[in-house]
Amino acid sequence: QVNDTMGHDMGDVVLRTVAERMRKTVRNTDNIMRLGGDEFAIILEDCSKASACIVAEKISHAIAEPIVSGDKTVTLHTSIGIVLAQHPSDTVD
């Protein structure tokens, strides 16, 4: 929607800003990936359910801060899903 209403330059600013905010929220050992469009995935190794919820809350608050570029301002909201996996696991399932 940002690209359609504010242009691709602003869309690029939004994506870079969101990625940087997420990077500042997680540990250096965690992995952040852009899946496409406005979807990201973050892998938090050795992380409890409680810690994952805290990180998700921090990310949500960080992304909700307005993004300003020139005379344009964007305020975003997030939808975050959490999946926990047993470690170590012998199979993908």
Catalytic residues: 38
**54 SS3 class:** helix
Question: How many other CB atoms sit within 10 Å of the CB of residue 76?
Answer: 16
Q: How many CA atoms lie within 13 A of 26 on its CB side?
A: 23
